[in-house]
Amino acid sequence: MDAFRLLNRLHISTALVWTAAGDIVAKDNGVIIVKKTSGAATQVTLPARSGRGTFAFVKDGKGDAATNAITIIPDGTTNNTTIDGGANFVLNVNYGAAIFLHNGTEWGLIGILDPQLSLAELQVLDGVVAGTASASKAVVLDASKNITALGSVISTAPTGGGIGYGTGAGGAVTQITNRSTGVTLSKLTGAITTRTDSLAGLAAATFVVTNTTVAIGDTVVLSIQSGSNGGNTNAYVSTVTNGSFSITVANGNAAAGTAETGAIIINFAVVKAVAA
Q: Where are the domains of the chain?
A: 3-149, 170-271
Q: What is the pLDDT of residue 147?
A: 67
* CA-based nearest residue to 122, from 37, 22, 16: 16
Q: What is the pLDDT of residue 6?
A: 46
Structurally, what CATH architecture does the domain formed by 3-149 represent?
Answer: Sandwich (2.60)
Please report the pLDDT score of residue 129 as a whole number. Answer: 40
Is 202:272 a contact under the CB 8 Å cutoff?
A: no
Per-residue pLDDT for the chain (276 aa), expressed as one digit of tens each?
444 444 444 444 467 888 999 999 987 777 889 999 888 999 999 988 766 777 888 999 888 998 999 999 998 888 889 999 999 999 988 888 899 888 888 999 988 876 554 555 444 444 444 334 334 334 555 556 566 665 667 778 788 878 899 899 999 999 999 999 999 999 999 999 999 999 999 999 999 999 999 999 999 999 999 999 988 999 999 999 999 999 999 999 999 899 999 999 999 999 999 888
For domain 170-271, give its CATH number from 3.40.250, 2.60.40, 3.40.50, 2.40.128: 2.60.40
Per-residue model confidence (pLDDT) at position 125: 42
Q: How far apart are CA 261 and CA 211, in angstroms?
A: 26
Same fold, 3-149 and 170-271: no
Please give the pLDDT value at position 135.
40
